[in-house]
């Protein structure tokens, strides 16, 4: 007998083995660029409502999981300079003292009140873990903004302790998540709000910050500024909740249609889901026939790749020839051009097939969210010094974004030029400049990059032709499935 359930507290341990099986196969079988998050972090993402999932049981044995996300992008990050407590360099004792003094003077004995859960108190014990964690000074720097984070952050569902050995008197907890920028660098901040046996709420702060092995300084050239490289090794795909799109991250099962059918039925009565989007990467593409019977449509996608370790790619790049700038100039990223870039990308993609499964590009508002997500490192770590703008009298005529997708892989999230200059080689010029920048970093600084990759519609022949002429090859193809939830219209 087959039964499909939501992934929830009472079946967490039952799905551990099947989730680990997915993790072991993610890179090879599902074409993931990074290893998905570990099981404990996956469960935390479920509890924080950043991910959701279904599990298929057959005779009480788990036979498959479907993981999806519908996370609203919170662009209202709290801005900090990082010097609200003063500046103490690497003197951890001085930072601790400054944080301790601020907490005692401004927070201890006070509370924050939220309309959804009431008052959250700042007790003396609330600072102990934060102060004692000397390895992460950002925890201390955040202390002056704790109240604002708690007041304005997103509240996760209430969770009960999973471990038998828990803090004495802890009944359960919420997480409050809020993006914070510290001196221009964005972090996802998580506050734990615990409930004691008397029903009082108290806080503990956890900054979700890890740095990947690559040093930001390695991406500094004469014309760039240091990049901000944070760990993005997470299973969550780009979310589009503002536009009522639910994105499936993976369906790990031989009974794919059963899980998808259950998801469709579950969403039928929900007005907050217009489209289900499902990139069928890797072995998932074998399920096209069975899910087409459920009403899914498909857009073909090609993943193209420039291999830095392949001499043939370099020869093709060298033979591609230069393109004259004419009256244009090339520039690295500059925030003052952001609004022009948003308009350019909206105009370039609003009639593209991508809007079938990602309708953000249909409007300026949605395109703005896409661009801000790129800048906020949600498509990989944005590399401002390697991104290229094509300018004409201070007007943006083209853009080619660059992001660090993993320690040795670069991704081009978007490339676009104005309609008036298409078919004149300007897109090729932008992309060639981006590739050249990384070639220079490899040769001069020995950065161990392996590839640049991008995704393009399989029937966008001009784009594919451009990539081929610069030394890219089609690495693989996959169908991007989507289905419209007609009852939500």
Model pLDDT for residues 88-108, shown as the tens digit of each residue: 888 888 888 898 899 889 988
Lowest-pLDDT choice from 16-25, 307-316, 368-377, 430-439? 368-377
Lowest-pLDDT choice from 123-132, 158-167, 248-257, 292-301? 158-167
pLDDT of amino acid 127: 64
Angle (CA) 409-230-133 rounded to 5° is 145
User: Which residue in 414, 392, 403, 413 sits closest to 345, CA to CA?
Assistant: 414
Q: How far apart are CA 222 and CA 48, in angstroms?
A: 42
SS3 200: coil
Report residue 78: phi and psi, to 5°: -80, 130
DSSP per residue, 332-357: E--GGGHHHHHHHHHHHHTTSGGGGT
Q: How far apart are CA 255 and CA 110, in angstroms?
A: 53
DSSP 3-state helix, strand, coil percentages of the chain (rounded to 5)? 35, 30, 35
As a whole number, the mean pLDDT across the chain is 82
Model pLDDT for residues 302-340, shown as the tens digit of each residue: 999 999 999 999 999 999 888 888 889 999 999 999 999
DSSP per residue, 243-266: GTEEEEEEEEES-HHHHHHHHHHH
Q: How far apart are CA 343 and CA 412, in angstroms?
A: 19
Report residue 357: phi and psi, to 5°: -115, -5
CA trace torsion 462, 466, 471, 473 (10° rounding): -30
Q: Return the higher-pLDDT residue of 26 and 163.
A: 26
pLDDT of amino acid 7: 93
Model pLDDT for residues 427-480, shown as the tens digit of each residue: 999 999 999 999 999 999 888 899 999 999 999 999 999 999 999 999 999 999
Spatial contact of 75 and 244, defined as CB atoms under 8 Å apart: no
> Please, which pLDDT band fits residue 272 given cuts at 50, 70 and 90?
low
Instruction: Point out which residues pair with 307 in neighbouring strands.
Output: 451
Cα four-point dihedral sign 261, 265, 271, 272:
negative
Lowest-pLDDT choice from 35-44, 155-164, 253-262? 155-164
pLDDT of amino acid 427: 94
pLDDT of amino acid 141: 85
Spatial contact of 221 and 254, defined as CB atoms under 8 Å apart: no
pLDDT of amino acid 160: 63
* All domains in the chain, ordered by first residue: 2-69+236-295 (3.40.630.30), 78-219 (no CATH), 303-477 (3.40.630.30)
- Convert 340-375 to b/e letters by CB count within 10 Å (16 or more is b): bbbebbbebbbeebbbbbbbbbbeeebbbbbbebbb
The span from the first CA to the last CA of the chain, in angstroms, equals 35
Q: How far apart are CA 99 and CA 106, in angstroms?
A: 10
Cα four-point dihedral sign 382, 386, 388, 393:
positive
SS3 170: coil
User: Which residue in 98, 107, 206 sits closest to 147, CA to CA?
Assistant: 107
Query: Averaged over 351-362, what is the pLDDT?
Result: 92
Angle separating helix axes 426-445 and 311-319, nearest 10 degrees: 130
Q: Return the higher-pLDDT residue of 273 and 365.
A: 365
Q: Percent of the chain having pLDDT more than 90?
A: 47
pLDDT of amino acid 488: 41
pLDDT of amino acid 203: 54
Lowest-pLDDT choice from 158-172, 183-197, 433-447? 158-172
Please give the model's pTM, rounded to 2 decimal places.
Answer: 0.70
Query: Averaged over 108-126, what is the pLDDT?
Result: 80
CA distances from 324 to 169, 398, 427, 428, 430 (A): 71, 14, 12, 11, 11
Q: How far apart are CA 78 and CA 181, in angstroms?
A: 6
pLDDT of amino acid 466: 95
Model pLDDT for residues 198-245, shown as the tens digit of each residue: 555 555 544 443 322 223 333 433 333 222 222 222 232 333 334 578
Spatial contact of 259 and 6, defined as CB atoms under 8 Å apart: no
pLDDT of amino acid 308: 96
Angle (CA) 252-257-258 rounded to 5° is 90
> Please, which pLDDT band fits residue 192 given cuts at 50, 70 and 90?
confident
pLDDT of amino acid 287: 92
Q: How far apart are CA 422 and CA 273, in angstroms?
A: 36
Lowest-pLDDT choice from 60-74, 88-102, 254-268, 426-440? 60-74
Spatial contact of 26 and 35, defined as CB atoms under 8 Å apart: yes
């Amino acid at each position: 007998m087959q039964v499909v359930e939501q992934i929830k507290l009472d079946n967490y341990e039952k799905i551990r083995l099947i989730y680990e099986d997915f993790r072991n196969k993610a890179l090879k079988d599902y074409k993931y660029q990074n290893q998905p998050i570990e099981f404990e972090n996956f469960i935390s993402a479920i509890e924080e409502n950043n991910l959701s999932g279904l599990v298929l049981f057959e005779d009480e044995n788990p036979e498959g999981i479907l993981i999806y996300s519908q996370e609203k992008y919170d662009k209202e990050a709290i801005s900090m300079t990082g010097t609200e407590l003063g500046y103490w360099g690497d003197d951890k004792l001085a930072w601790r003292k400054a944080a301790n003094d601020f907490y005692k003077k401004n927070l201890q004995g006070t509370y924050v009140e939220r309309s959804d859960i009431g008052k959250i108190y700042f007790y003396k014990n609330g600072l102990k873990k934060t102060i004692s964690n000397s390895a992460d000074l950002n925890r201390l720097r955040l202390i002056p903004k704790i109240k604002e984070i708690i007041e304005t952050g997103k509240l996760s569902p209430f969770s009960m302790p999973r471990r038998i050995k828990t803090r004495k008197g802890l009944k359960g907890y919420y997480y409050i998540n809020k993006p914070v920028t510290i001196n221009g660098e964005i972090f996802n901040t998580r506050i734990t709000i615990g409930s004691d046996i008397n029903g009082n709420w108290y806080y503990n702060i956890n900054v979700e910050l890890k740095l990947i092995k690559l040093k930001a300084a390695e991406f500094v050239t004469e014309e760039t500024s240091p990049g901000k490289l944070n760990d993005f090794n997470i299973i969550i795909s780009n979310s589009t909740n503002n536009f009522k799109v639910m994105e499936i991250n993976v369906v790990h099962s031989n009974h794919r249609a059963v899980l998808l059918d259950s998801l469709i039925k579950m969403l039928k009565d929900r007005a907050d889901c217009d489209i289900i989007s499902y990139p069928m990467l890797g072995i998932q593409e074998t399920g096209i026939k069975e899910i087409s019977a459920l009403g899914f449509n498909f857009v073909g996608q090609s993943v193209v790749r420039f291999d830095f370790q392949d001499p043939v790619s370099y020869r093709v790049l060298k033979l591609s020839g230069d393109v004259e700038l004419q009256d244009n100039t090339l520039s690295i990223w500059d925030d003052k051009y952001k609004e022009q870039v948003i308009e350019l990308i909206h105009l370039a993609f609003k009639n593209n097939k991508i809007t079938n499964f990602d309708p953000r590009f249909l409007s300026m508002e949605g395109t703005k969210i896409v661009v801000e997500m790129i800048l906020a490192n949600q498509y990989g770590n944005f590399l401002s010094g390697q991104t290229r703008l094509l300018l004409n009298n201070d007007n943006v005529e083209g853009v080619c974004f660059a992001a660090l997708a993993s320690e040795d892989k670069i991704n081009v999230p978007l490339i676009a030029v104005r309609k008036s200059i298409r078919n004149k080689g300007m897109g090729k010029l932008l992309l060639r400049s981006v590739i050249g920048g990384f070639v220079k970093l490899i040769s001069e600084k020995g950065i161990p990059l392996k590839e640049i990759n991008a995704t393009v519609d399989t029937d966008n022949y001009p784009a594919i032709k451009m990539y081929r002429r610069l030394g890219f090859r089609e690495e693989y193809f996959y169908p991007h499935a989507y289905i419209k939830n007609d009852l939500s219209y």
